[in-house]
Amino acid sequence: MYIVRDRNRRGLSRRAAMLGTAAGAAAASLPLARVAAAQEAAAFPSRPVRLVVGFTPGGATDIAARAFAPRMGELLGQPVVVENRPGAGGNIAMEAVVRAVPDGHTLLLGTIGTLVSNPIITRLPFDPVRELVPVSIAVDVFNILVVPADRPWRSAAELIAAAKAAPEQLSWGHSGIGGSTHLAGVLLDHLADTRTVSVSYRGGAQVATDLISSRIDFAFATAPSVLPHVESGKLRALAVPTARRSKLLPDIPTVQEAGVPGFDVASWYAVLAPRGTPQGAVERLAAAMRGALEDPEVVAVMNRNGLEPMPTTPAEFAAAWAAERARWEPIIRGAGVSAD
């Protein structure tokens, strides 16, 4: 009996020793893993970072990206290069980022149109929610209801009255089906009981050009693309589509004030990375974005263009994205919006 007990003790001792060695190795590996992760994060980025914009140069998304990208690059220690890949309402740019190597060196500047509306309206070969990782919201951007200076309307109420008097005669432009500039026009027809003709463009700069030349009658255009023309007198601002007046342009009334209750179309632009991007890289990108968006010079440039910096954590961005999807899906489906 004693011999057996001695053998058991020796076996238990051996197993305890083995377990102790394994536990010690595991404990030692935890700090090593943290060190490796920290080194990987510190080494990022190792080359220039591409920020892909799904619309043409001169539009609001392009203006926003070029406002914060240089400062963000300084904070990262590598240039952040803006790359315009317009087409398909931002889907071409979004797919390019989804297919990119997930190492943090390729990013997307997404909009509510690309991230929320497009997956509802169009059958995409990928799911943005599954294939993209939130980094940070960049800016809160508001649109402005504008008309050419040679048009007689001085308020949103006058424009709505003219649209009702001439069904399917007034035309309006937008920078892509499903984007906020498109949804605002759709919502106006729906809530104000008007019938107007929509004209799709590849970007806000083209919308502004045709407004100035009076080829179209009005637009809910992005502030950065039309504010200079409003200030020069080539365009006239009638209203903003948000529930409250913009603090950047407090003298411009809302569409609700023109007698259209419930009219509210807000928008933001945000930065995302491909799924699989290391968490350390995502966090460093978010921190660099916050630093850039809080820089006084960047804030001043954005405010001049009707943009309000809105840095968030990745988790805050994810929550805001989910809320927008829940809000807009029934509206888009109810209005029968399609990509055709």
Does pLDDT of 3 surpass 60?
A: no
pLDDT at 334: 81
Angle between helices 156-165 and 180-192 (to 10 degrees): 70
Q: What tens digit of pLDDT does each residue of 38-78 get?
A: 455 568 999 999 999 998 898 889 999 999 999 999 999 99
247 pLDDT tier (thresholds 50, 70, 90): confident
**Residue at 315: amino acid letter:** A
Q: What are the φ and ψ backbone dihedral angles of 252, each rounded to 5 degrees?
A: -90, 120
249 pLDDT tier (thresholds 50, 70, 90): confident
CA distance 64 to 307: 7
Q: Is 250 helix (H, G, I), strand (E, B) or coil?
A: coil
Given a contact cutoff of 8 angstroms between Cβ atoms, the answer to whether 144 and 227 are in contact is yes
Residue-range domains of the chain with CATH = 49-140+267-335 (3.40.190.150), 143-258 (3.40.190.10)
**Residues 16, 20, 21: CA angle, nearest 5 degrees:** 120
CA distance 265 to 242: 5
Whole-number Cα distances in Å, 53 to 91, 103, 136, 287: 10, 18, 15, 20
Does pLDDT of 37 surpass 70?
A: no
**Residues 49, 50, 55: CA angle, nearest 5 degrees:** 155
Q: What tens digit of pLDDT does each residue of 85-136 get?
A: 998 889 999 999 999 999 999 999 999 999 999 999 988 999 999 999 999 9
CA distance 13 to 145: 80
Does pLDDT of 243 surpass 60?
A: yes
Given a contact cutoff of 8 angstroms between Cβ atoms, the answer to whether 143 and 263 are in contact is no
**Residue at 305: amino acid letter:** N
Count CB-CB contacts under 10 A for residue 188: 25
336 pLDDT tier (thresholds 50, 70, 90): confident
CA distance 111 to 248: 21
Strands 171-174 and 197-200: parallel
340 pLDDT tier (thresholds 50, 70, 90): low
Q: What are the φ and ψ backbone dihedral angles of 199, each rounded to 5 degrees?
A: -130, 125
Does pLDDT of 2 surpass 60?
A: no
**Residue at 99: amino acid letter:** R
Specify the DSSP class assigned to residue 165: H
pLDDT at 18: 43
Q: What tens digit of pLDDT does each residue of 280-329 get?
A: 999 999 999 999 999 999 999 999 888 999 999 999 999 999 998 998 88
Does pLDDT of 266 surpass 90?
A: no
